[in-house]
Amino acid sequence: MDNLSPQKQREMLRTMQVIRRFEERASDDFHAGQIYGVVHCYIGQEAVAVGVCSVLDDSDKIISTHRGHGHCIAKGADLNRMMAELYGREDGYCKGKGGSMHIADFDIGMLGANGIVAGGISIITGAGLAQQLDGTGGVAVCFFGDGASNAGPFHESINIAANWKLPVIYICENNLWAVNVPATDSVPVDDIAERAKGYGIPGVVVDGNDIFAVHNAASHAVERARRGDGPSLIECKTYRHRRHTERADQLDSRSSEELAFWKSRDPIEHVRRHLLTSSDPLSDADWQEIDRQVLADIEASVVFAKASPVPQLDAALDDVFAE
């Protein structure tokens, strides 16, 4: 973290708070019946998306999952267009026809959220090949869960990326559960990072609630990929504070003790505490002002979304590439 100025740390903290407030609002509006489809909240995991994206630039590509709002925001997506997409409006990223799980913005290198578990892992490996062929030093980063690490695309993709030394960084967000299946019942190794050994690439475990640990690990992996030395696997141990989805009937098998333990390790509080003692301490008043601005931006995104028209029926088949 020594290489991160207090200013940069404040920016990272702010971005984490944007993710949290965006999703709190999305959840409220979903429960109020204003947002349709499904909403998977990333709350509790913000340090992973922000820590990793803090070492990327616009030419680098990322890909996400069904739990994708945090990755979009960390890569610089527009809040108005995101909220409009959740609201199903024409000014949304997919013209209101994709919803929460399909937000993409190629202009900032965000290749898309993805409702197919592990689907993004193969796509980003292809993007890594494209980066290698372009020869401009760009990297490709994949976010996925512990559940996805059990699926075929994880193994096939890492195998080919390792063989071809593709500039891909595989970020496994091990939040300990895949819907209601504990990773201890589906992953037969202590750490998912151990799986890297099978493909001859570095595999590291980090505290995914410590943004500085995530930043450092991502920074090393990105440098290695830019040098042409190939892919890495980083396992970030973390936890979601919400149930798998925001649906009212969503079952949650996790214990209240486990949830309380992880809430006591809140990634946003971790940065706040750290900044209290930095060379440019963040006071309570500073923090409240940051939060006030963040809430104003979220409110503006909802106003934007509500002002946007719903898609016209005759546009239903526009942008459909396969029937």
Ligand X SMILES: Cc1ncc(C[n+]2csc(CCOP(=O)(O)OP(=O)(O)O)c2C)c(N)n1
Q: Does 66 bind ligand X (CB under 6 A)?
A: yes
C-alpha dihedral (289, 294, 300, 301), degrees to nearest 10:
180
CA distance 308 to 187: 44
Residue nearest to ligand X (CB): 145
Burial of 316 (0-12, 13-18, 19+ CB in 10 A): exposed
User: Footprint of ligand X on residues 134-163 (CB under 6 A)?
Assistant: 144-148
Q: Does 116 bind ligand X (CB under 6 A)?
A: yes
What are the tokens at 102? 């399909």
Among 117, 142, 196, 233, binds ligand X (CB under 6 A): 117
Interface segment toward ligand X; rule CB under 6 A; list 18-26, 65-73, 221-229, 296-304: 65-73
User: How many residues bind ligand X, per CB under 6 A?
Assistant: 16
Q: Least Å distance between CB 116 and ligand X? A: 5
Residue type, position 297, single letter: D
- Rg from Cα positions in the chain: 19
Interface segment toward ligand X; rule CB under 6 A; list 21-29, 62-70, 161-169, 223-231: 62-70
Interface segment toward ligand X; rule CB under 6 A; list 111-119, 230-238, 272-280, 291-299: 111-119
Which backbone phi and psi does 264 adopt, to 5 degrees?
Answer: -70, -10
Q: Does 71 bind ligand X (CB under 6 A)?
A: no
C-alpha dihedral (320, 26, 10, 262), degrees to nearest 10:
-110
* DSSP per position, 84-96: HHHTT-TTSTTTT
Task: Specify the DSSP class assigned to residue 209.
Answer: T
Among 38, 129, 179, 204, binds ligand X (CB under 6 A): 179
- Binding to ligand X by CB under 6 A, coded x per residue (else -) over 5-34, reads ------------------------------
User: For ligand X, which is the closer residue by CB, 76 or 115?
Assistant: 115
What are the tokens at 191? 């750490």
CA distance 306 to 83: 9
- Binding to ligand X by CB under 6 A, coded x per residue (else -) over 219-248, reads -------------------------x----
User: For ligand X, which is the closer residue by CB, 66 or 75?
Assistant: 66
Question: Which own/partner pairs from 315-321 qualify as long-range (CB within 8 Å, at least 24 positions apart)?
Answer: 315/95, 316/97, 318/95, 319/94, 319/95, 319/97
Q: Name the residues that contact ligand X, by CB under 6 A.
A: 65-67, 115-117, 144-148, 175, 177-179, 244
